[in-house]
Amino acid sequence: DAGVIQSPRHEVTEMGQEVTLRCKPISGHDYLFWYRQTMMRGLELLIYFNNNVPIDDSGMPEDRFSAKMPNASFSTLKIQPSEPRDSAVYFCASSPTGNEAFFGQGTRLTVV
Amino acid sequence: GENVEQHPSTLSVQEGDSAVIKCTYSDSASNYFPWYKQELGKRPQLIIDIRSNVGEKKDQRIAVTLNKTAKHFSLHITETQPEDSAVYFCAAMDSSYKLIFGSGTRLLVRP
């Protein structure tokens, strides 16, 4: 398995535009996590899924953020409209139940 | 919900000395405590983990201890080397498998 795959690796967009981040978890992992990393706030959990179902989205900062997991091999995190304060590295991670979470390489988002 | 606090935020040690990073958690139902190392520009990667039925675990130069009563756990790195320089994160997984991270410790090992 190639591990958790995220795309794009880098995204630069203008304020107000829609941004979609993508994640392919490791096959067989039933948990998927989306984290946002900034210098100020560290690794914040935004939302996590179990068997494609969102379990806890209390970390999603605003209604501008949404996440979906239409099947076991794909998830998206969407920001609409984007703002400069959304600039961060967004990580997706997957894990088998109750075990090590494997991280993707992250998407570095810059909103100008 | 779970809250994880981590100290110190930065730690500088001389090569060969030991480094200790401490974390506390709030949810007594949490049962899995991993530690991750993140090098500059890279993804966090697991270095060691411990479950709530174990008090201590060791892997070569790194060890983790867990005190369930006090709800704190610690990472110990002995004989530090320059390549140990990185940001270290503790985390706690609660009974619903939610994984919450501490704020991170930037470790610098001076040659």
At B53, the pLDDT band (50, 70, 90 cuts) reads confident
Cα angle for residues B22, B27, B30 (degrees, 5° grid): 80
Q: Specify the higher pLDDT residue, B94 or B21.
A: B21
Residue B41, phi-psi category: left (phi > 0), alpha (psi -120 to 50), beta (remainder): left
At A1, the pLDDT band (50, 70, 90 cuts) reads low
CA distance B36 to chain A (A): 10
A108-to-A85, B20, B104, B106 alpha-carbon distances in Å: 13, 31, 19, 20
At B17, the pLDDT band (50, 70, 90 cuts) reads very high
The pLDDT > 70 percentage for chain B reads: 100
Distance between CA atoms of residues B49 and B42, nearest Å:
20
CA distance A15 to chain B (A): 24
* Contact residues, chain A to chain B, C-beta under 8 Å: 31, 33, 35, 42-43, 45, 48, 50, 55-56, 58, 91, 93, 95, 97-106
Nearest chain A residue to B91 by CA distance is A43
Judged against a pLDDT cut of 80, whether residue B103 lies above it is answered with yes
Distance between CA atoms of residues B89 and B62, nearest Å:
14
pLDDT of residue B54: 84
Measured in degrees and rounded to the nearest 5, phi and psi for residue A75 equal: -140, 150
User: How many C-beta atoms surround the C-beta of residue A18 within 10 A?
Assistant: 11
Using a CB-CB cut-off of 8 Å, the residues of chain B touching A97 are 97
User: How many C-beta atoms surround the C-beta of residue A112 within 10 A?
Assistant: 10
Answer whether B15's CB lies under 8 Å from B111's CB: yes
State whether B98 and A100 contact (CB < 8 Å): no
Question: What mean pLDDT is reported for chain A?
Answer: 96
State whether A42 and B89 contact (CB < 8 Å): yes
Judged against a pLDDT cut of 70, whether residue A21 lies above it is answered with yes
Q: Where are the beta strands (DSSP E) in chain B?
A: 4-7, 10-14, 19-25, 32-38, 45-51, 56-59, 62-67, 72-77, 86-93, 99-101, 105-110
Residue A58: which of B26, B33, B98, B28 has the closest Cα? B98
pLDDT of residue B52: 85
Sequence-distant (6+) residues with CB within 8 A of B24 are B4, B5, B70, B71, B72
Using a CB-CB cut-off of 8 Å, the residues of chain B touching A105 are 42-43
Using a CB-CB cut-off of 8 Å, the residues of chain B touching A35 are 101
pLDDT of residue B48: 97
Task: Tell me what the mean pLDDT of segment B93-101 comes to.
Answer: 92
pLDDT of residue A52: 96
pLDDT of residue B15: 98
Least confident span in A4-8, A25-29, A40-44, B40-44: A40-44
pLDDT of residue B1: 81
Task: Tell me what the mean pLDDT of segment B39-52 comes to.
Answer: 95
Predicted confidence (pLDDT) per residue in A98-108, tens digit: 889 999 999 99
pLDDT of residue A37: 97
State whether B34 and A35 contact (CB < 8 Å): no
Q: Which of A34, A38, A43, A89 to mutate to test the interface with B (most CBs of B within 10 A)?
A: A43
pLDDT of residue A10: 98
The pLDDT > 90 percentage for chain A reads: 91
CA distance B94 to chain A (A): 9
State whether A45 and B99 contact (CB < 8 Å): yes
Predicted confidence (pLDDT) per residue in A22-62, tens digit: 999 999 999 999 999 999 889 999 999 999 999 999 999 88
